Chains A and B, each alone.
Chain A
Amino acid sequence: IAGITQAPTSQILAAGRRMTLRCTQDMRHNAMYWYRQDLGLGLRLIHYSNTAGTTGKGEVPDGYSVSRANTDDFPLTLASAVPSQTSVYFCASSLGMGRTDTQYFGPGTRLTVL
């Protein structure tokens, strides 16, 4: 593994189903993030974690949950998917959550909820 990996690459999901998007980084970064990207709306922060064991809510957290059991993994769970959650999801990490820390993004997961 080099950098950040996300799985699956893409997924079509029926509304009401539960789905977990996986994210793993091997850079030993303390901070990790989940964004969704929708046309015309840029990158919107869903949840973040500044270190293992702690998480926080971003701009659009409703309908999503996260956990950070260890440094490397930061899964994002949709408990009961709805069509408005159709989006491209990016996981990112940074060394810390300081103002000058730069973020490294994974390749993304394209999710379609029908």
Chain B
Amino acid sequence: GQQVMQIPQYQHVQEGEDFTTYCNSSTTLSNIQWYKQRPGGHPVFLIQLVKSGEVKKQKRLTFQFGEAKKNSSLHITATQTTDVGTYFCAGSGSGAGSYQLTFGKGTKLSVIP
């Protein structure tokens, strides 16, 4: 079945440093979604990427979808304590019948003030 691998599993950064998490799929994805889960909270949808090579920005967050649609990244510039949480990528396959969203294991971000 489809697998979505996410690295790193944990990341500790000093406030103001940049942060990147990577998502890799064993198969070509139709689209990829990113979610954020604050400590003690539930996952909340951030953004969706659909097109090959697509780049989207949300303030200090930059999301990229690879040209081959097999990988994606989330980059946070100048982290703040409000960025703390676990970031999940989730992808849908491109084959017939592969509609289910498969979540990566997430990257837990800690920001040291």
Q: Which residues of A contact B (CB under 8 A)?
A: 35, 40-45, 48, 58, 90, 92, 97-100, 102-108
A61 to B92, CA, bound (A): 20
Q: A42, B99: Cβ atoms under 8 Å? A: no
Q: A103, B9: Cβ atoms under 8 Å? A: no
Q: B100, A45: Cβ atoms under 8 Å? A: yes
Q: A106, B42: Cβ atoms under 8 Å? A: yes
Q: B42, A90: Cβ atoms under 8 Å? A: yes
| Interface secondary structure of B, over-half rule | strand
Given A42-B105, A99-B92, decide whether A105 and B100 contact each other with a Cβ distance below 8 A.
no
Per the 8 Å Cβ criterion, residues 88-113 of B in contact with A are 88, 90, 92, 99-101, 103-106
Smallest CB-CB separation from B86: which chain A residue? A42
Q: B88, A104: Cβ atoms under 8 Å? A: no
Task: Convert B1-23 into 0s and 1s, putting 1 for each residue whose CB lies closer than 8 angstroms to a CB of A.
Answer: 00000100100000000000000
With both chains docked as a complex, state the minimum distance between the C-beta of B89 and any C-beta of chain A, in angstroms: 10
Q: B30, A99: Cβ atoms under 8 Å? A: yes
With both chains docked as a complex, state the minimum distance between the C-beta of B51 and any C-beta of chain A, in angstroms: 12
Task: Select one of A41, A45, A100, A105 contacting B43, CB under 8 A.
Answer: A105
- Tell me which residues across on chain B come within 8 A of A35, comparing CB atoms: 103
Per the 8 Å Cβ criterion, residues 48-105 of B in contact with A are 48, 50, 88, 90, 92, 99-101, 103-105
Q: A43, B43: Cβ atoms under 8 Å? A: yes
Q: B33, A102: Cβ atoms under 8 Å? A: yes
With both chains docked as a complex, state the minimum distance between the C-beta of B94 and any C-beta of chain A, in angstroms: 8
Q: A99, B105: Cβ atoms under 8 Å? A: no
Q: B88, A43: Cβ atoms under 8 Å? A: yes
A41 to B99, CA, bound (A): 21
Given A42-B88, A43-B103, decide whether A102 and B45 contact each other with a Cβ distance below 8 A.
yes
- Tell me which residues across on chain B come within 8 A of A107, comparing CB atoms: 41-42
Task: Select one of A42, A90, A105 contacting B106, CB under 8 A.
Answer: A42
29 contacts between A and B (CB under 8 A): A35-B103, A40-B9, A40-B105, A41-B105, A42-B88, A42-B106, A43-B43, A43-B88, A43-B106, A44-B103, A48-B100, A90-B43, A97-B100, A98-B99, A99-B30, A99-B99, A100-B30, A100-B48, A102-B33, A102-B48, A103-B33, A103-B35, A103-B101, A105-B43, A105-B44, A106-B42, A107-B41, A107-B42, A108-B42
